[in-house]
Structure 1
Amino acid sequence: SEPLSGGGRSSGLMSFLRIGDRAAGAIKSGGTTRRAAKMVVVDIDHPDIEAFIDWKVIEEEKVAALVTGSRIMAEKLKPVFHACINCEADGDDCFDLKKNPRLKQAARDARKSLIPEAYIMRIVELARQGFRDIEFRTYNTDWDSEAYGTVSGQNSNNSIRVTDEFLHAVEEGGSWALRGRTNDKVVKEVDARKLWDQVGRAAWACADPGIQFHTTINDWHTCPNDGQIRASNPCSEYMFLDDTACNLASVNLDKYLQTDGAFDVEGFNHTVRLWTLALEISVLMA
């Protein structure tokens, strides 16, 4: 949350990453069902690096909580509902925990499972209003499920840029300075080894963040006078200057259909060879 030139303070990296992640989830790549190709790379000395490292870990824990919680709620709230609608008592006695022993026990079991009181009473009230069937939604851990759709951090490759300087600090057990983006001032000092351990635990838990070795990448830079390489495309085969891109190639197969309906194999082979050479040059120069 660095100061802004117009006054106030920045809301920080993570708030904007969540916006971008939500946009990537909504905008399918190429207008099809293919997932968006979005890459997020954060420097190891960024003030928000600790939150970024654990971002996806925490979000996946939320998915686990949604899945587990939804199933427990369905299991424990169904008896509450059935205790109300299958009651043989008269009138409102069926919905009174003091007068309906079966409801009282079902509510007690639900509370033991930490289901909020408001949800227990909502089920009772729905039964009181005459509902005879209630859908209890449950969620699963499928990567394209509604549970994953409700959390952030799932629509990009999240990676960090690690310098040799940081790795030396890890090796020596030293501290590591997190610096502001606008003024380069030290915002916070952290233990380099603890930060590196955090990276390892997060990558083990959820496969992110990935690692890009900033110093080594720039030692191999083919155009160093034009600026540093600070990121890559999502697949990481293209590493080059800011505002450049890994260009993909496509071919319109209809153009190779001849008047007699035959496919121009020779022409297609020639096109493929040209595209392969051009794209290979693009990658090799990066």
Structure 2
Amino acid sequence: MVSSFRAVVVGGGCVGAGILYGLAKRGWTDVALLERTQLTAGSTWHAAGLIPSYARSRNVGRMIARSIEIYEGLEAETGQNVGWHKCGQLRIANTRDRLDEYRSYMDVAEVQGVRARIVSPAEAREIWPLLDNNSMLGALYHPDDGHIAPADVTQAMAKGARDLGAKIHLDTEVVGFERMPSGEWRVKTSRGEIVCEHVILATGNYARQTGAMLGLDIPAIPILHQYWITEAVPEIVERKRLGLPEMPILRDEGYEGYLREEGDGLMFGPYERTEQLKLFAENGVPEWFGADLLDEDFDAVSWNWE
């Protein structure tokens, strides 16, 4: 049986749910989301959920600030916990050039309406008491940054969209598209056909595959990235016992990555060097892949750890 909608969003991750929610909030309630398995089962399941405000583009900075505003209102609107940790973000400058970069950014932040300030080495150590760095010249501090649980915020946006009348169809794989003489689209799925005015692709790892169904060669190929979670760190356990706030996400050009609290330990997200980057699903996502972890590759990030 053919269904009809004004717009169809393909992909049930954080981006797809966010688009559906945004359309519904703007009055487009005759919309549907199609997900091949379950919500959050793809790229979103693998995400660390960091929300950094640092951006040179005025529009990107405003978009990030608006995202934080939306996320902070979701829990009250939907009654669902979104796992938002507003712990801030601290970026260490070990060189004069890096500190100059952060100073030049301050004018951009002011135009974007983003709160940020340059802090001294002493204040950086107060903000991040476990920091042992005698070479830093200062740091850039964003107090409103943080991290969010990707699956939780996706489910909350999906609920918000449903509450406004949008439809979500799970276990519904899109297998093809057809442009009709009327200009509308016929979306072919594993559970029948849907006719709509607009198609929005938000398929993450599957972007090239869904794009190819429309004759598009989308230059989007996943790159393998790792993050590591340590065992319990006694100092963090003690901070929690004392009721102290979560430390900000820490970024340091020295190890090219981020470090943040995760449970009683730390999450370390090292960034691989260009020559060590490895592509994934270059010729299509494997049928078995979903909420799966790939094999670790310590050699690719051993220098970050060192």
TM-score by length of 2: 0.27
Name whichever structure is richer in helix by fraction: 1
More strand by percentage: 2
TM-score by length of 1: 0.28
Larger Rg: 1
